[in-house]
Amino acid sequence: MARRETPAAGPGSRALVVDVIRSAVSISRVELAERTNLTQPSISNIVRDLIADGIVHETGSTGSVRGKPRQLLAITPATRFGVGFQLGPETVTCVAIDLTGGVVGREVVPLDDTDLSDQLAERFDDFLLGLDLPRDRIEGLAVVAPAAPPSDRTGPPEWAAVRGRLAERLGIPVLVENDAAAAALGEFWTRRVSREQAFGSVYLSAGVGAGLVFGGALFRGASFDAGELGHMSIMYDGRPCPCGNRGCVERYASMTATVDAARAAGLAIEQKTVFSAYDAIAHAAVSGDPDAFAVVDQAAGYLSVAVTSMVNLLDLGRVVLTGPGMAIAGSIYARRLRAHLAATAHARHRHEIVVELSAQPRDAAGIGAAALVVQASIAPGHTTGMPGADRA
C-alpha cells in the first residue's frame, strides 16, 4: 500500500477534524485518522492546536486491540459561544449556542421603526447581560432574515451597511445570511449529522426556501442563490410569480398561499397577519376540522412535489422540515412527503430517504445563525455569509 504523505494542517484539515469530532461526540486520534484519511502526524498537530485553543478536550479512554487505551476527544462546549439574531416581520429572536450547538439562551423582543443597526447593537448588549455570558468568549453575531425578492438581490435592508455598522460598534465579527440557509446549517450542526451525508432542509414561512449542506458546509451556488426551492416550478402554465416564472411552488405551498387558499375556500379567518392566520388554520387542521385539513394537506402535496424533485436532483439522504409553517401542522407535511418519496423518489430502492421534523421550527433560523458564527470560528475552512457580508 502506498504511504501517505503528511499534508499541511491547514484550515480545511482543521475544519474536517472538528466536523468529525462534532458528529462522533467522542472519538480517538486513531479513528480520526481513519475517517479523515489524514496521517497520524497531521492529526496530532491539529488536535494539539484544538486543545490549546480550548475547542477540544480529552475525555476518558477506550480499549484497543493492542491493549493500550486510546484517549477519546470531544468538543468542549462552554469555552466559546455564537449569537444569532433571526429577524421577523415585527420581532427579533435572539439565540446563543455553545460549541456543540446547545442553546444557552433565547428571547424574542419587538422591533420598531428606528435604525436597525442601533436596535440590534443595543439588543446584543442587553442579551449578553441577561445571560451573564463573558464578552471575550463571544465569537461573533450572525443576523438572518428572509431572502430578498429575486428582483432585489441587495437584500433587506442594505445588509452590507448594517453589517458594517454593527461590526464597528460591537467590535466582533458580524455575518448576515438568509433564514432558510441558516436553518439548514443549524439543523445539521445540532443534530450532529455526519459531513459525509448529503443533507437538506426545507424552510416553510411566508415564502418557501431550502438549505443544502454538503461536506459539512453550506452549498452556496454561483451567486449565493442556491436553495431557492420556492421558485421551482411545479406547473409550467401555473400562477405567475414575481420572479418571472410561472407555477412556482411558493405560489401554492407557502404560508401566504395557504392563507389565501383558506380564505378562497370560505374558511372564517379573523387574524390579520399571515403568521397568525396560518397558525389558526394549522390548529384547526390538526384538531380535526376537515375544511382546514383539506387546505393544509393540499399545500403539503404541492410542497412534496417540489421537495421530491430536489431530492432526486441532489440524491439527498436526509431532509428536515423546519420553519414557522412546520411548528403546528408539521406532521401533515411530513406524512405527505414521506408517502410521495416512497412512491416516486428515484433512489427509493437504493437507500432510505429520512424525513424529520425540526425540534425547534420557529427558532431554527436563529439557532442556525449562531451556528454560522461557531462554525466560522472553530472550522474556518468553511465559507459563511452572503456576498458583501464577510467577517469584519
Which 3-state string (H, E, C) describes 306-340?
A: HHHHHHHHHCCCEEEEECHHHCCCHHHHHHHHHHH
C-alpha cell at 107: 428571547
- Tell which CATH classification among 3.30.420.40, 3.20.20.120, 1.20.1440.130, 2.40.50.100 matches the domain 80-184+365-378: 3.30.420.40
Rounded CA separation 388/223 (Å): 12
Q: Do domains 80-184+365-378 and 191-362 have the same CATH topology?
A: yes
**Domain edges within the chain:** 11-75, 80-184+365-378, 191-362
pLDDT band at residue 380 using 50, 70 and 90 as cut-offs: low
Of 42-46, 55-59, 218-222, 344-348, minimum mean pLDDT range: 218-222
The pLDDT of residue 355 is above 50: yes
C-alpha cell at 68: 493500550
Residue 161's SS3 state is: helix
Radius of gyration over every alpha carbon of the chain, rounded to an integer in angstroms? 22
The pLDDT of residue 191 is above 90: no
Rounded CA separation 42/51 (Å): 14
CATH topology for 191-362?
Nucleotidyltransferase; domain 5 (3.30.420)
| Strand partners for 57 | 74
Rounded CA separation 194/180 (Å): 20
Please report the sign of the dihedral spanned by the C-alpha atoms of residue 92, residue 97, residue 102, residue 104.
negative
Q: What is residue 63's predicted lDDT score, i.e. its pLDDT? A: 61
Rounded CA separation 85/95 (Å): 6
277 closest CA partner among 302, 295, 260:
260
Those residues with Cβ within 8 angstroms of residue 254's Cβ, 6 or more apart along the chain or in another chain: 204, 205, 206, 207, 208, 230, 325
- Tell which CATH classification among 3.40.50.720, 3.40.50.620, 1.10.10.10, 1.10.10.410 matches the domain 11-75: 1.10.10.10
pLDDT band at residue 334 using 50, 70 and 90 as cut-offs: very high
Using one digit for the tens of pLDDT, what is the confidence trace for 43-101? 999 999 999 988 899 987 776 556 577 889 998 888 889 999 999 888 899 999 998 88
pLDDT band at residue 387 using 50, 70 and 90 as cut-offs: very low
Average pLDDT rounded to a whole number, residues 307-334: 95
Of 69-78, 87-96, 123-132, 219-228, minimum mean pLDDT range: 219-228
